[in-house]
Amino acid sequence: MNNSYLRFIKESDLPIVLAWRNSEHVRKHMYNDAKISMEDHIQWFHKMEQDDKHFVFIYIQNNVPLGLVQLTNIERRFDRLYWGFYIGDKKAPRGSGTEMGILALNKIFTDFSINKVCAEVVETNQQSMAFHEKLGFKQEGLFQQHIKKNGKYVNVIPYALFKEEWRGVVK
C-alpha cells in the first residue's frame, strides 16, 4: 500500500495547484475552462479559507502531491455536499485517482458525517462518468444544455452517492 493521504491545501501549494488547474488535461473538463491568473487563484484561496462550506485537500502519495479534492456547497442541515477532484500530475501512478477518491469518500462519510455526496460531470468527460460509477455513484438525472463549451451547449450529468451505499474501506 502506498503512503497516501489527504491534507488541507496550504498557500505554498498554490503554484502547483494553479499549474494543474491550467493544464489542458484538467481544464478541458471544468465548467470554467479558461486559464486562471495567479492573482485570481490567490483570491479564490483566501475566499475559500473564510468559507465554512468549502474545503480543499491535496492528495499526497509517497510524499509527492498528485491531485486535489474539493468539497463545496456543504449543507450541514441536509448532510449533503458536492465534490470535485482531479489528478494534476500526469505522471501519477496508475490507480492514483481511485485511491484519492476512496480516501476522500472515507473522509466525507466519517469526518464530515455526510449522508449524500453530489457530483456534476460534463457529458464529454466519459472517464469521470466511469470513475463515479466505479465508486458506486448513481446518475440522478440530466441537466440539458447546462453549460457552454467551445461555443456549444453541453449537457451535465448529476451523480450521487449515499453513505449507506458506500462500500469503501475506512482508513
Q: Are strands 143-149 and 152-162 parallel, antiparallel or unpaired?
A: antiparallel
How far apart CA 94 and CA 141 sit, in angstroms, is 30
Domain that includes residue 128, residue range: 4-165
Flag whether 149 is in a domain.
yes
Domain CATH for 27: 3.40.630.30
Q: Is the pLDDT of residue 152 over 50?
A: yes
Tell me if residue 4 falls in helix, strand or coil. Answer: strand
Domain count for the chain: 1
To the question of pTM greater than 0.85 for the whole model, the response is yes
How far apart CA 112 and CA 59 sit, in angstroms, is 17
State pLDDT tens for residues 97-139: 999 999 999 999 999 999 999 999 999 999 999 999 999 999 9
Query: For the chain, how are helix, strand and coil distributed in percent, rounded to 5?
Result: 30, 35, 35
Flag whether 99 is in a domain.
yes
Flag whether 10 is in a domain.
yes
Q: Give the pLDDT confidence score for residue 108 in this predicted structure.
A: 96
Flag whether 17 is in a domain.
yes
Flag whether 81 is in a domain.
yes
Q: Give the pLDDT confidence score for residue 171 in this predicted structure.
A: 35
Q: Give the pLDDT confidence score for residue 159 in this predicted structure.
A: 98
Flag whether 171 is in a domain.
no
Which is nearest to 105 in space by CA: 36, 73, 59?
59
* 3-class SS string, 72-100: EEEECCCCEEEEEEEECCCCCCCCHHHHH
Flag whether 170 is in a domain.
no
Q: Give the pLDDT confidence score for residue 16 in this predicted structure.
A: 96
